[in-house]
Structure 1
Amino acid sequence: MSTIGLSKETSVKVADSLNELLADYHIFYMNVRGFHWNIKGHKFFVLHEKFEELYDDLFEKIDEVAERVLTLGQSPKHAYSNYLKVSKVKEATDISDAEGTVSSILDSFEVIIEKQREILDLTDELEDEGTNALMSDYISEQEKLVWMYSSFLGK
């Protein structure tokens, strides 16, 4: 047992899943940074500010996920080349219009939330309450953001 009461096997399984989530978050973060820098059109002022709020939040979550991996006694992956290999969030390039950027954000949230639900199920089964609570909080917050961004698109 580790100092937090989880077996080594459990810690490795959860950390591996969290490292995959970390890759998704990094690609998502860079996409949103690019949207913030490159947004054009009559929605510029609204979206420029919203994208900054979103990438600040994603940056915080990246740090929290990495710290959870460390808490589990494992190492967070940090090579961008690794992120590109394992991330299910795809790089978004050359998107500068409101609809394209927000649609990409919604696609990324779909991937992120699905991965977090997988981790939620895994950590429930493995009795890792710390990671489970973190994923539950993220999902609740992000479901609201999905509703808001969907509403922006009129969906």
Structure 2
Amino acid sequence: MGTSTEIDIGIGKKDRKAIADGLSRLLADTYTLYLKTHYFHWNVTGPMFNTLHLMFETQYTALALAVDEIAERIRALGFPAPGSYSQFAKLSTVKEATEVPSAEEMIAQLVKDQEAVTRTAREVFPLAEKASDEPTADLLTQRMQIHEKTAWMLRSMLQ
């Protein structure tokens, strides 16, 4: 009696591939944002040091959990998750930080990056919706909600 390794979850391979490709972009954005937020956590200075140091730690910890969820969803759809710096650099719309900006500039960059991740998630959503891929749609909805809220909180610090 042979066992089949074919995936039969009610979503065709073509749709699963399109969704996995979109999630790979979301994974790259999320991982790049994780690295940038962690980098800013290590290097922030100034009067807002303690507030930002703790805030950035909370954010990068949540992002670390998110990359795992996104990668595992890609795997559940039957495709390999990207995991190298070079793959992430090609796929990500979030640009890495190579210099240490002021605390205020860190906040401004992270607002733009949180919004960029939201846009990527929103671009993938119609693919999941069209394929009736509720688990991916749920993941994307949660990611959009978190990134929109984080962008709002960061933006509030600049006003």
Partner of 1:139: 144
Residue among 79, 82, 86 paired with 1:81: 86
Structure ID, larger Rg: 2
2:49 aligns with 44
Name 2:31's counterpart in structure 1: 26
Unaligned runs of 5+ in 2: 1-5
Question: Aligned pair 1:57/2:62, yes or no?
Answer: yes
Match of 2:110 in 1: 105
Q: Give the AA of the match of 2:72.
A: E
Cα distance in 2 between the residues matched to 1:153 and 1:95: 18
Question: Aligned letter for 2:152?
Answer: W
- Range 98-107 or range 44-53, more displaced: 98-107
Are positions 1:90 and 2:98 aligned together?
Answer: no
The amino acid across from 1:77 in the alignment is: P
Q: Which amino acid aligns with 2:155?
A: S
Distance in 1, matches of 2:19 and 2:32, equals 20
User: 1:96 Cα shift?
Assistant: 4.1
Tell me how large the CA RMSD over aligned residues is. Answer: 1.2
The AA in structure 1 aligned to 2:145 is S
> What is the alpha-carbon distance in structure 1 between the residues aligned to residue 14 and residue 126 of structure 2?
16
TM-score by length of structure 1 reads 0.94
Aligned residues: 154
Conserved? CA contact 2:115–2:148, under 8 Å: no
TM-score of the superposition, structure 2-length normalised? Answer: 0.92
SS at match of 1:22: helix
Q: Secondary structure at the match of 1:5?
A: coil
* Identity rate, percent: 36
Distance across 2 between alignment mates of 1:96 and 1:46: 17
C-alpha deviation, 1:4, in angstroms: 2.2
Task: Note if contact 2:20-2:79 (Cα within 8 Å) is conserved in structure 1.
Answer: yes
Name the amino acid aligned to 2:128. T
**Contact 2:24–2:91 (Cα < 8 Å) also in 1:** no
